[in-house]
Amino acid sequence: MTTPSPVASRRRRPSRHLNLRDDLAVVADLVADGSRVLDLGCGDGQLVRHLERRHGCTGTGVEIDPEAVLRAIRSGVSVIELDIDAQLGEFGDDSYDVVVLSKVLQATRRPAEVLAQMSRIAPRCIVSVPNFGLWTHRWRLLRGRMPMSRQMPYDWHDTPNIHNATLVDLEEFLAEQGFAVEQRILFDAAGRVASWPDRLANLMSGAAVYLLARGDEAQRRASTTA
């Protein structure tokens, strides 16, 4: 696992993702210029718009919130309204270079199915998640309360996040799903890019972004069907 390099590259080019929300700037850094990008849960399309305008990418957003879809269309982003849990079959095999899933995995009904679809659609995936294992979350649980934080601001009874995981849980799960982690970028509890040694990552990170590559088996399957 190589964690430090993307952080360094961001610092060298602070204006590269001007006006882009911090977490999206990190995601944007992981997308190669000129890529074809599918952004699942694209919101108002900020990431796709940025990648198209500044990085020669072409992209499609997927969103289900009507107001966000309208804003994306108004800003010129191509957006397809569909349910990530049930309708990713609409996209063809290997029809994109990279699929982005920003802070959505924990809100899906069947995360394994979503990840399987993503790896079918593109050889690379970028997944960002909040970390349930953050020490303040653990502290709240010890005090008998459900965790809440900047990254997970919802009351237990009113949260879209139905599949919470710690980074350790998640990485185990990603490996089971056949993904290799190419890069991992950690965020502190305030949402700033941070770097900790591996043994502290699960305790200190409020969130993380993973650049994933399809595992060997998936690649072999792709090459035999091609």
Partner 1 sequence: MGQLGEVRTEQVRLFDHDSPLVLASGQRLSEVDVAYETYGELSPEKDNAVMICHALTGDAHAAGWHPGDRRPGWWDTLIGPGKPLDTDRLFVVCANLLGGCQGTTGPASPDPATGQPYGLDFPLLQVADFVTVHRALLAHLQIPRLLGLVGGSLGGMQVLEWTLSHPDEVENAVIVAASSRLSAQNIGFSAVGREAIMRDPEFSDGQYGARGTNPATGLAIARMLAHITYLSEEAMATKFGRRIQDAEQSGPGFGVDFAVESYLRHQGDTFLTRFDALSYLYLTRAMDWFEPFSEHDAAAVAAAGTRVLVVSFDSDWRFSTAHSRAIVRQLEAARVRVSFREVASPWGHDSFLLEVPDYHATVRAFLDRALDRSPAA
- Positions touching partner 1 (CB under 8 A) are 36, 58, 60, 66, 69-82, 90-92, 95
Query: In terms of CB distance, is 79 or 99 closer to partner 1?
Result: 79
Query: In terms of CB distance, is 78 or 149 closer to partner 1?
Result: 78
- CB of 158: closest distance to partner 1 in angstroms? 23
- CB of 74: closest distance to partner 1 in angstroms? 4
Q: Which residue has the tokens 């091609």?
A: 226
- CB of 110: closest distance to partner 1 in angstroms? 21
For 194, the enclosing helix (H) or strand (E) is strand 193-194
- CB of 161: closest distance to partner 1 in angstroms? 25
Query: In terms of CB distance, is 74 or 192 closer to partner 1?
Result: 74
Burial class (CB in 10 A: 0-12, 13-18, 19+), 92: exposed
The residue type found at 149 is S
Whole-number Å distance between alpha carbons of 75 and 88: 24
- CB of 176: closest distance to partner 1 in angstroms? 30
CB 127 within 8 A of CB 209: yes
SS3 content of the chain, % helix, strand, coil (to 5): 40, 20, 40
Query: In terms of CB distance, is 3 or 95 closer to partner 1?
Result: 95
Helix/strand/coil (H, E, C) string of 153-173?
CCCHHHCCCCCCCCHHHHHHH
CB 41 within 8 A of CB 84: yes
Query: In terms of CB distance, is 23 or 97 closer to partner 1?
Result: 97
